Structures are given as structure tokens and as C-alpha cells.
Amino acid sequence: MRTIIQSRCTANKGVETTAKKIIAATITSVKVAVATLLLTACGHGIKPDAQQHTAPNGMTYTGQTDAKGRYDGYGQLAKGDSIIYAGQWKAGQRCGWGTATDSLGRRIVGQWRADTLMRGTRWAAPNDSTDEVYNGDFNRHIVAAGHGTITDALGHQYSGQWRNDRRSGWGFALAPNKHIRVGEWKADRFLGERLNYTADRIYGIDISRFQHDVGRRRYPIHWNQVRISHLGTISKKMVTGAVNYPVSFCYIKSTEGRTIRNRYFRADYTAARRQGIPVGAYHFFSTKTSGAIQANYFLRNTIFRKGDMPPVLDLEPTHQQIKKMGGPKAMFAAVRTWMRMVERHTGTRPVLYISQMFVNRYLPMAPDLKANYNIWIARYGEYKPDVHLVYWQLCPDGRVRGITPKVDINVFNGYRSEFEDFLRKNCIP
């Protein structure tokens, strides 16, 4: 996509509102999930054919077993009157949904695999006045590790990365009467508003004919080789480890205005899908043509299949172009028409690609678009977006093996679990 260098913005009330909405949505989903998990993990009761076994360590198992005498099915593992784990077992290992109590007396409901807790919800111990609730990933020691969200009775909230039960990595925190803190954390300490790019993040690319045509030279894309090898030099970045990232998603320019088509779109789309890369298409908006004409042109010349990523409208007009087409009101009317028509045709809501400058100057004039649509922003410096951010464009000069010219590198605003959830909810049905 065409790119615009962004300036750094300071925290504001809008950012805090956005963060609160994100965390509130997470909490709501947690409550629903927890209710389901409790029913799943604890609602079975002990079956009539349950067996009881007492181990040398004093642990008592009550529940179902297989032909070899291994815990299998539903069962409870207890020490005295305290239930250590109650839930599903397979071949002697915790496997499926269950509830457990850790050494600190905290109750955990979640999903287990091969005797390891993968993801779940943890409540504070009964005598803990903080009343903390954590929902997210765990490691084999049953402590927070990976991505998760925590809230407490005092109004503190954090969503981001964890390591050994401490906030570590990228995340954002809210506290009563304090500014939102967004950036890097280490061992529960906030290090500042910076991002550390690692292999844990979800990276993608967007391409057009310019990844094939450079002057008179023509270059193929070797899709079986594509892998991100450099994050560009237009801005300073914190990178941990070698840059050797898979391409987790790819957007391909299909059309522009009402007359321009990317002649490589169909071939690149087919080849990327063949490699198992989630693919989406984007249209570059023209201020010289109505939204309806542009939407029809995009829909006629673009491939849409089940599982494709939501289509994108690339909106990058200059101030002069906006003024010439009749001002922001006329521009947003055309944008709304395009978005509605494409959503009706594809069955999924498109994403809006804009600059931070555009967010600051023009998007407040269209609160419906700001509230209802996911946003993709070019981001070459640090900033705090007051939008529903799903992707940011990290650089326009990245390097990808298998592609000779420079490539736009993008980052999904979240980690693996959020990305998978985004695909389930937002791809073309």
C-alpha cells in the first residue's frame, strides 16, 4: 500500500476508552467461557461405576478408569478434603476440561492436554482481598505464561504478555486515576512505550504489482519460499532474535478507482492460498469516482472465497483531494457506500486502512465508521491509536525471501490466540 509516515501521539481519553472496551469485551467473554467450563468440568458428578484409588503420596482418585487401571473419563484427585483436580482424564493424564487448585489456593478452570494446562481462568484464593481474575495462557507449572488478561477488585486491569506469572512483554494496563500504560513490561515493571518485535508476533505482508514490476524488470514471487527476513530501516526498532518469521497473512491489491486492476492479483491470490496463507484483497480508493462505482468495480474483478480475510478499503487522500471532492462529508458518504456494498456481497465487514494523521484530523467527523469498523494503520513510529486496531503497517521497506523488491510488513494487533479468534469471526463465511 501507499504509505504515510506517522508522528508520535500522546495518551488521551479516547485511548483509555478504547482500552477499557477491549478489556471489558475480554471480561465478558471470560464470564461466558467460565460458566461453560464450570458446567463441563464439574457438572458431571461421579459416575456410578467410579473407582477409588489411593496413591503412596496420600492422593486419592475417585472416578473412571480404563482397562489398564489408568484414570480415564471423569474423575477427581484429592488430598484429604481438598480437591486438587476435577475433570477429564485420558490414559492417566489430565486431558480436556477441568478445574484445579494450585499451591496458593487459587482455583483454575481450563483446558488440559497431556497433563498440562493450556488455557483457562484463575481466581484469587478465598483469603486474597485483591479478588484477582486471570484469563489466558499457562505453562506446565500452572502459572501465567503467554497472553492473558487480569482484573482485580481495585479496578486494575492488564492485557498482554506474561512470563512466570508476571507481566512480561508487550501489553497495556489501566489503573484508577492513572494514564494508560502501553508498551513493554519486564517482571511486572513497565519499561516504556516501545515495542519489541519477536517471533511470537503475527506478521503479514501486503503486495501489489510493484512486487513484480520495477522499472523494466519483471520479478516472479516464489510463494513456496516466502518468509520475512528484515523489518525495514525507515524507523528504529527493537528486535529480539533473528528475523525469520512466517507470513501469517497476505493482502493483495486488486483494484484502484474504477479502471485500474492489478494484473498479478489472480495468480498471486491462487499461489498464496495454495501455500496455506490466509489471503485478503484490497481496493485503493479514488476521490474522483463514486463509492458505488468503485465497489462494483472491486467486486467484479476480485476473487472471494470462504475463509478469505476481510476485504480492505485503502483510504489515503490528501487534504487537497478531499477538498476537491466536496470535503469530508462527501468523502465519508462515498466510503460508507463502498463499505456497505462490499459487506453485503462478501458477508463480512471490511477493514479500513488509514493513516494516524487521518485518524486525528478526519475520523472524528465519522463516529459511526470509527465505532463500527476495524482499522489498519501505517505505523513507522510509536503511537497510541484511538480506534479498533487490527493491523499496523510496520514498514514499507521490509524484505521477504521469495520476493525480490521491498515489501510492506504488517503486524496483527495481538498474538496467536487472538489471531485465530479474529479469523474465526471475521473471515468470509
pLDDT (tens digit per residue) in 53-87: 787 778 889 999 998 989 999 999 888 777 889 99
- Cell 505464561 belongs to 145
β pairing state of 375-378 and 351-354? parallel
- Report pLDDT for 193: 63
Which range scores top for mean pLDDT: 72-86, 112-126, 288-302?
288-302
Q: What are the tens digits of pLDDT across the range 148-165?
A: 999 999 989 999 999 999
- Report pLDDT for 384: 55
| Per-residue pLDDT at 95 exceeds 50 | yes
Task: Give the whole-angstrom CA distance, residue 316 versus residue 285.
Answer: 7
- Report pLDDT for 79: 82
Mean of pLDDT values over 374-400: 82
Q: What are the angstrom distances between the C-alpha of 209 and each of 180, 229, 239, 411?
A: 41, 21, 29, 21
Q: Which of 37-41, 195-199, 207-211 has the lowest mean pLDDT?
A: 37-41
**Residues of each domain in the chain carrying CATH 2.20.110:** 102-194
| Per-residue pLDDT at 32 exceeds 80 | no
| Per-residue pLDDT at 177 exceeds 80 | no
Mean pLDDT, the chain, rounded, equals 86
Rounded (5°) CA angle 135-17-8: 105
**119: exposed, middle or buried (C-beta count within 10 Å: 0-12, 13-18, 19+)?**
middle
Rounded (5°) CA angle 220-223-225: 105
Cell (9 digits) for 142: 500452572
**Residues of each domain in the chain carrying CATH 3.20.20.80:** 13-17+197-426
Task: Give the whole-angstrom CA distance, residue 65 versus residue 50.
Answer: 8
Task: Give the whole-angstrom CA distance, residue 178 versus residue 154.
Answer: 13
Sequence-distant (6+) residues with CB within 8 A of 411 are: 197, 201, 202, 203, 204, 391, 392, 394
| Per-residue pLDDT at 217 exceeds 50 | yes
| Per-residue pLDDT at 43 exceeds 70 | no
pLDDT band with cut points at 50, 70 and 90 for residue 171 = confident
Mean of pLDDT values over 353-364: 91
β pairing state of 166-174 and 279-284? unpaired
- Report pLDDT for 379: 67
CATH topology for the 102-194 domain: 2.20.110
Sequence-distant (6+) residues with CB within 8 A of 48 are: none
- The number of CA neighbours under 13 Å toward the Cβ of 165 is 11
- Report pLDDT for 137: 93
| Per-residue pLDDT at 271 exceeds 90 | yes
- Report pLDDT for 20: 52
Percentage, residues of the chain above pLDDT 90? 62
Q: Are 377 and 392 in contact (CB under 8 A)?
A: yes
CATH of domain 13-17+197-426: 3.20.20.80
- Cell 523488491 belongs to 405
DSSP result, 288-338: TS-HHHHHHHHHHT----TTPPPPEEE----HHHHHHTT-HHHHHHHHHHH
pLDDT band with cut points at 50, 70 and 90 for residue 38 = very low
More confident residue, 152 or 52: 152
More confident residue, 142 or 110: 110
Q: Which of 25-29, 69-73, 123-127, 196-200 has the lowest mean pLDDT?
A: 25-29
Sequence-distant (6+) residues with CB within 8 A of 407 are: 205, 207, 211, 398, 399, 400
| Per-residue pLDDT at 385 exceeds 80 | no
